[in-house]
Amino acid sequence: MQRREFLRFCAGGSAGAVLSLTGVSIATTAAAEPLRLRIQKARYTINGAVTQDMVSLSQDQPPPVLRMKQHEPFVVHVTNDLEDYTAMHWHGIRVPNKMDGVPYLTQWPIARKETWRYAFTPEDAGTYWYHPHCMTMEQMARGLTGVLIVEERESVGFDTETIVNLRDFRLGEDSQFIKFFSPRMAARSGTLGTVMTANWKQNPVYEHQTGALVRLRLVATDVTRIYKLFATGEHGKVIAIDGHPVRDTVAWPTDVAPHIMGPGQRIELAIKMPDREGAEVVITHQSGQAPRPLVTLRSVGAPLKRNLKDLHTLPANPVPEPDLKSAEVVEFVFGWTPQSMKPNNGYCGSLGYTFWSIDRKPWPGDAADGTKPLAELKLGRSYILRLRNESPNAHPIHLHGLTFRPIRSNQRNLPSNWTDTALLLKNETIDIALVASNPGDWAFHCHVIEHQKTGLAGFIRVS
């Protein structure tokens, strides 16, 4: 539709004035200057003293929340001010392959002082995130993980929202970075951080009007940690998982049945703030020892008489529905590697070990010549990918460029919600279904970065 037609169409609608305004802002956005981001060194006080040598998009702030609108073009120029190479990936967004930010597979690494242009139109609304896919361990561990929101075309009816970027930092007593991983842990469940944060703070408190309806978006951007989240206080409901509105109900997470969220995953909660001023809702991580509060919402001011029923249902995203009857089954096995080798990673960093494999072959490195796809899917066809974990450790298996839904597990009942990441528990097999709707070479890897960078990676070709 041309811009003129769109405006005319809106003016004819029942809510003409409001929609016309939207039309104008669309035109402005499309013609506007592209967003410019500079990956650079940063410093920030996370744990009492200033941490040096962080990586962000400004010198003293966490990576900002990027906002775009569903079905509207988005253009960003990413400049590299670091010494090392980089590349930016838009996690969970179904972008054209060239815009996916995977070095050697979809683009060249971005050298110091170079700028790379990314342009795409997000088809799906929801909560996503961005992170580098080159020097991944180094740059993510130092801070470069940010939230990306694709707004729905229409308001869903919340009074306010809070966006929470959950992650750890590995800091020593002096608040400076310590080694990002140990080979011993990389070969097991991964190396955890020493300081748990929400938006780079420890248990920040966000105030909302008493009784208000809050959209809480939680994003796990940590390189390793699998969160077990639950909410204390007033109730609400789970409205979206991994970007997409839930289709199968997901239970409200409690201390006895927390929501398990692996690296890269997201959850959105609709929360009605407590009706009593000063009362709190605390989002907590259930850990072996004492539960750890991550972020707190507090009621302040005169009560708003709102009800969860006032909310509209989130509109479903236009993800193609796989045809399970005609779907071909393709199997993958994730586990330790039978062969130890020195990975080749070109300009994008190597941890120097291989511990893991897909189909018993470790990924030889981002820049290795002659790497073949793990599978070749036909564009437009439906597939069931059988993901089998033959290891005792959990793996959040992430696929770029395509959205899928789990259809069965050999261990538990899984809600069949759209996602980009399947969290495989110890010895679990999960079947996922998808339509191979987006052509290209799509990275396919564990999102525990130590696993990804020591062999548990590959790609799937759709053509």
Interface with ligand C2O (CB under 6 A): 89, 91, 131, 133, 264, 398, 400, 443, 445, 447
- The encoded tokens of residue 252 equal 């409200």
Residue 272's binding partner out of Cu ion, ligand C2O, none, with CB under 5 to 8 Å set by partner kind: none
> Of 130 and 353, which CB lies nearer to ligand C2O in the complex structure?
130
Residue 453 interacts, among Cu ion, ligand C2O, none and using kind-specific CB cut-offs from 5 to 8 Å, with none
Give yes or no for residue 451 binding Cu ion (CB under 5 A): yes
Task: Choose the stretch contacting Cu ion; rule: CB under 5 A; options: 231-239, 369-377, 392-400, 434-442.
Answer: 392-400
Closest-by-Cβ residue to ligand C2O is 91
When CB distances are held under 5 to 8 angstroms depending on the partner's kind, the choice from Cu ion, ligand C2O, none that residue 446 binds is: Cu ion
The side-by-side arrangement of strands in the sheet containing 205-209 is 205-209, 292-300, 280-285, 227-231, 259-261
Binding partner of 448, given ligand C2O, Cu ion, none, CB within 5-8 angstroms per partner class: Cu ion
Nearest to 251 by CA among 241, 262, 242: 241
Spell out the residues 6+ positions from residue 216 whose beta carbon is closer than 8 angstroms to its own.
161, 162, 164, 236, 268, 269, 270, 271, 283, 297
| Contacted entry of ligand C2O, Cu ion, none for residue 125, CB cut-off 5 to 8 Å set by kind | none
Is residue 91 involved in binding Cu ion (CB under 5 A)?
A: yes
Of 400, 405, 445, 453, which lies in the binding site for Cu ion, with binding defined by CB under 5 A? 400
Report the nearest approach of ligand C2O to the CB of residue 399 (Å). 9
Among 225, 395, 405, 445, binds Cu ion (CB under 5 A): 395
Residue 167 binding target from Cu ion, ligand C2O, none, CB below 5 to 8 Å by type:
none
User: Which of Cu ion, ligand C2O, none sits in contact with 451, Cβ below 5 to 8 A by type?
Assistant: Cu ion
Q: Smallest distance from the beta carbon of 39 to Cu ion, in angstroms?
A: 18
- Residue closer to ligand C2O (CB basis): 23 or 143: 143
| CA atoms of 111 and 92, how far apart (whole Å) | 25
Q: What are phi and psi of 73, to 5 degrees?
A: -60, 145
Does 448 bind Cu ion (CB under 5 A)? Our answer is yes
User: Strand pairing partners for 462?
Assistant: 377, 440
**Residue 445, binding choice from Cu ion, ligand C2O, none, Cβ under 5 to 8 Å by partner class:** ligand C2O
**Does 225 participate in binding Cu ion (rule CB under 5 A)?**
no
C-beta of 128 vs 200, nearer to Cu ion: 128
In angstroms, the Cα distances linking 187 to 56, 344, 456 are: 28, 18, 11
Tell me whether residue 148 or residue 212 sits nearer to ligand C2O (CB atom).
148
Is 304:159 a contact under the CB 8 Å cutoff?
Answer: yes
Query: Does 446 engage in binding with Cu ion (CB under 5 A)?
Result: yes
Q: If DSSP states are collapsed to H, E and C, what string results for 359-389?
A: CCECCCCCCCCCCCCCEEECCCCEEEEEEEE
DSSP 198-220: ETTBSS-EEEEETT-EEEEEEEE
**Gap between the Cα atoms of 212 and 158, Å rounded:** 8
Closest to ligand C2O by CB, 206 vs 459, is: 459
- Give the residue from 189, 98, 91 showing the smallest Cα distance to 140: 91
- Of 414, 218, 211, 403, nearest to 307 (Cα)? 211
Contacts to Cu ion by CB under 5 A: 91, 395, 400, 446, 448, 451
